[in-house]
Amino acid sequence: MNKIMKLWFLLSLNLLVAFLGWLMTRLGSIWGEFVLYIGGATLLVMIIFKIRMRRKYANFASFALVASLLLGTIAGVCNVGNINEWMGGSWTYLKIMIHPIEVFDAKTGPMPLSTAKRVELENVYAQLHVYDHSVAQKILVAFDNFGLAIIDHQNVIPITDEVIIPSVVLPDNSIIYYNRSGEPQTLTRARIQGNELIRMWEEEVPNLTVQHWGDAWQGKLYQPARSFFNLPSPLWSDVYPAFQKCRMTNAVDEMIRIFDINTGKYEREIRLLPIIAALEQEPGVPKLIHPSCQREIFHLNAVEVIKTQHQADEFPNGKIGDMLVSMKNINTIALLDRDTFQVKWHVENLFKLQHDPTITDWGTVIVFDNFGSNAANGQSRVVEISIATRKVIGEYEATGQEYFQSDVRGRIILTDMPHKIIVSEEHTDHKDSMFVLDCGDGPVSNSCKKTWIFQGSGHRFDFMFSALLPEN
């Protein structure tokens, strides 16, 4: 019994150390590299002592602990088996169980912010360094810790302290958003009026988990979403036979869910797996879906609907209503036909773990590339891709003393001036920031004039959404 207890203790200790190794990588790539170098050097020294000194300077338990630390770190750095997404989802689920979100009692009407709370938030936002920038329109920002605010030139105006995730801003200055966690999940439309929100409707969306950023067209919201189910399941194996042998609980099936923007009523869904599986059968298309058992294949994180004929004409057989989607885990963006949902244009592996591909009016798509750059100045960059050639024609990345990295999320916002964009660095160990790249008449590059809009410190001012407000 004592041996069993000792073995159980050592196993638990090694799992804890492996978790600590993984956790270090979540604190930033520099810490992950530090653990790899120090842990690797320590293991090497222990091996040398063991072999050459022939003494028990390093016993089996010590080897196991150092090896566990290295394995946990490698798992985090390389995202082995999508462990980072799985751990993030588990943490979110745990928070939901401990602190379920409070759903609003009233489904319509004002969402006032008390005077005391407004003063408190104004004092918080005073610590945000807002620059004298050139953006005339008001900028809506959803902060992870403090709720929704408007940046009006150098003023930061609190709107609500509710931690919500906007999906899209509509032409009438209303937003559609969802609650960050909790059951049941709710979808809400509210109009920004002055410095407060007026709720127009709120609908529960049980078992219709929505995520990230969507778009609206012809009275419909096109929203990234997911469902959870257990493997094996014909839902996957009938489409992709390689998944027949998988055994897994809470696997993620991803889709675009469509809601009525005037009522919030759910209408239908467009599943991704059959669409991408069919794309792989076309000549010259590489394998995009990894055949190994994995919890989340795509991680759909953005949908943009083409709304002008000018933009539609840039794509092969493009038409108004087609949907550009971003699938982070397979490093792919694709244009789906509005009627058949078939892929009519796509690019892959020109970026890594990307977010927010944005269609321009000059024949390109601009993408926030989270991990495609040199780690020395941060691994994020902005790339501009020609729709016609499907090649990168421009890129911006940090150089010199600058640092640019958003571990998750990241936004591209077009302004009313061609080749002038706003970039949001939304989740970083360095400084959460937003800046303008004014590229004159050319593509995105390091020659673009960069001006700051704001900078925050560490993770204090992490934010999950940003957009220009259509009305001032």
Residue with tokens 């946990």: 72
CB 293 within 8 A of CB 244: no
What is the torsion angle, in degrees rounded to the nearest 10, for the CA atoms of residue 405, residue 411, residue 416 and residue 419? 40
38-50 confidence digits (pLDDT tens) = 655 565 555 555 5
CB 298 within 8 A of CB 327: yes
Q: Compute the Cα dihedral for 17, 77, 396, 363 and give only its sign.
A: negative
Tokens matching residue 262: 């005037």
Question: What is 157-174 written as a DSSP string?
Answer: EEEE-S-EEEEEE-TTSE
- At 239 the pLDDT is 87
Confidence label for 77 from pLDDT (cuts 50, 70 and 90):
low
Share above pLDDT 70 across residues of the chain, in percent, rounded to a whole number: 77
Find all residues with CB under 8 Å of 404, minimum gap 6, and list them. 373, 377, 378, 380, 381, 397, 398, 425
CB 124 within 8 A of CB 457: no
342: nearest Cα among 284, 275, 390: 275
Strands (E) across 205-322 are located at: 215-217, 220-231, 248-260, 266-271, 300-305
Q: DSSP 3-state helix, strand, coil percentages of the chain (rounded to 5)?
A: 25, 35, 40
Exposure string of 262-273, with b = 16+ CB inside 10 Å and e = fewer, is: eebebeebbebb
Residue with tokens 């067209």: 217
Exposure string of 129-144, with b = 16+ CB inside 10 Å and e = fewer, is: ebeebebebbbbbbbb
CA distance linking residue 75 with residue 66, whole number of Å: 14
189: nearest Cα among 263, 102, 104, 113: 263
Tokens matching residue 181: 């966690």
- At 222 the pLDDT is 98
The long-range contacts involving 284-291, CB below 8 angstroms and separated by at least 24 positions, are 286/348, 288/330, 288/332, 288/348, 289/240, 289/330, 290/330, 291/240, 291/242, 291/243
More confidently predicted of 59 and 235: 235
Confidence label for 98 from pLDDT (cuts 50, 70 and 90):
very low
306: nearest Cα among 295, 316, 291, 294: 316
Average pLDDT (437-442) is: 95
Average pLDDT (164-192) is: 89
Residue with tokens 């002008």: 308
Tokens matching residue 24: 């270090």
- At 250 the pLDDT is 87
Confidence label for 293 from pLDDT (cuts 50, 70 and 90):
confident
Q: What is the value of pTM for the model shown? A: 0.80
Confidence label for 292 from pLDDT (cuts 50, 70 and 90):
confident
Per the prediction, the chain carries an average pLDDT of 85
Q: Which helix (H) or strand (E) holds 277?
A: helix 272-280
- At 91 the pLDDT is 56
